[in-house]
Amino acid sequence: MIRRFARTYRRMRLGTRLALGLGVLALVVFAVVGTALSTYMRDYLEQQLNSQMALVQGTQAKDAERHGTVERQPFYRWYTAVYDVTDDRAVLRRPSEVPSDAGKLSAVAEVQRDSGAKEVFRTAHIKGQGDYRLRACEVSPGVVLVTAAPLEDIEKTMDRLLMVQIVAFALALVGLVVLGRALLRRGLKPLSDMAHTARGITSHDFTDSARLPVRVDSDAGGPEVGELRTAFNTMLEHIDDSLAVRTEAEQRLRRFVADASHELRTPLMSVRGYADLFQYAAANEPAERDKHLARLRAKAARMGLLLDDLLLLARLDAADVETPLRLQDTDPVRLVNEAADAFRAGRPEHPLTVRVDGDPAVRLRLDPLRVRQVLDNLLTNAAVHTPPGTEVSLTLSVSPDAVVVRVADSGPGIPAADQERVFDRFYRVDKARTRDRGGSGLGLAVARSLIRAHHSTIDVTSAPGSTVFTLRLPRAGM
């Protein structure tokens, strides 16, 4: 039975359990208050009766001294008796109007004689009459006056008081539980809203959305609920951020797979076409055979470069597991000059100027091959995407906290809508033309990943007539 009640109680809602707990606490308080009130009221009524009996006996003592007995009773069902207590027992003086069971009256007279007290009170049950309050006092030496007053009125008063308390406390208890349940339900409503919000999260489709459409916006419930609401919303913000990162990674992966498949599909189809042509049409023509073989090698080299870039990006993405960098103390000025010499040799149609500002003896801890790869990539982009004769500049500036390298050209520039995406993988501003020239859209993505692997930054600013790629290599911590 107790276990079943406990299981039922645990299945109740929090507001109901709190209301029931409040009701039990109120019941205990009501019981304590009712008991204290009843005890105080009984004591008060008995004190009033004691005072009334003392007042009555003051008059009756004069009658006992004058007549030897008390001839008249003061109130209905009151009894008064005079006892001689000089011998071993109390002897009732006659005539006296006493109940048939008068032993309790004589007993209290003997108690008064033995104690020698001014007055003695006792509560006793008189057979056939009920409960009585007895008072004994000495009238003269050896004479004791005993008065008995019924307690029926006090008992009736206490019964009515008890009934009033039961009714009043019961109504108050019911009202407290009902009202408390309503107030608790209202106070706990923010918690219910949070539960509703949590259920809304479970029904949200996270396939293409990185944001949760639900929040707890109510400001009700007090500071405690407010703290919980703040923590709940903070948790949702954290989930939002995590989902945004996950969704962005998934979308980037889907784009990457689609773009990689597209980029590999073109040279693979070319390789297969040249292989078929070589097999069926050029087997007996040495000149045609050499031409087709050269084209096969070119396409294979293109795929090799593309796969190398993809592998490098994958290794950079997994830098926490395997870093592709080999750091060493390097002279950045020498790297800039070597990149400039290689560019002049391979792109003589683009005039290049080199300038070094600041201390030329600066040393940085970096991977010289990877940084040189970034510089070659940026210079090649400047030549590929600008017409012949366009001026290109390579500037290195040394400051106390960083080395800044700028690759600039005076070409047509990059449209503003494309500047934020030029570092994305497989992104090309002029897709058709750059593919013909061998671009795969991975050069700037590789450059940014390599620079980030050095804990450095790369950005671009462009306008018609000026495009500048800026590398910032911090000197501290390299």
Contacts of 389 (CB under 8 A, 6+ apart): 349, 350, 351
Give how far the C-alpha of residue 129 lies from the chain's centroid of Cα atoms, to the nearest Å: 72
Distances from the Cα of 60 to the Cα of 388, 413, 468, angstroms: 142, 128, 125
Tokens standing for residue 241: 């951020």
Render each residue's pLDDT in the chain as its tens digit; 478 residues: 677 766 776 677 766 777 778 888 888 888 899 899 999 999 999 889 888 888 888 888 877 777 778 767 778 888 888 888 877 788 888 877 788 778 888 888 888 888 878 888 988 888 888 899 999 888 888 888 888 899 888 899 999 999 999 998 888 888 888 887 787 777 767 767 767 766 766 666 666 555 665 555 555 556 666 676 677 777 777 777 777 777 776 776 666 666 566 556 666 666 666 666 666 655 556 666 666 667 667 667 666 666 666 666 666 666 544 556 788 888 989 999 999 999 998 888 999 999 988 777 888 888 888 889 889 989 988 888 888 989 999 999 988 888 999 999 988 888 887 777 787 776 666 554 444 454 566 778 888 888 888 888 999 998 888 899 999 998 864 4
Tokens 């004589």 correspond to 106
How many helices (H) and strands (E) would you count in the chain?
Answer: 12, 12
> What DSSP assignment string belongs to 173-226?
HHHHHHHHHHHHHHHTHHHHHHHHHHHHHHTS--SS--S---------SHHHHH
C-alpha to C-alpha distance for 135 and 9, rounded to whole angstroms? 55
Instruction: Tell me the pTM.
Output: 0.46
Q: Do residues 452 and 472 touch, judged by C-beta distance below 8 A?
A: no
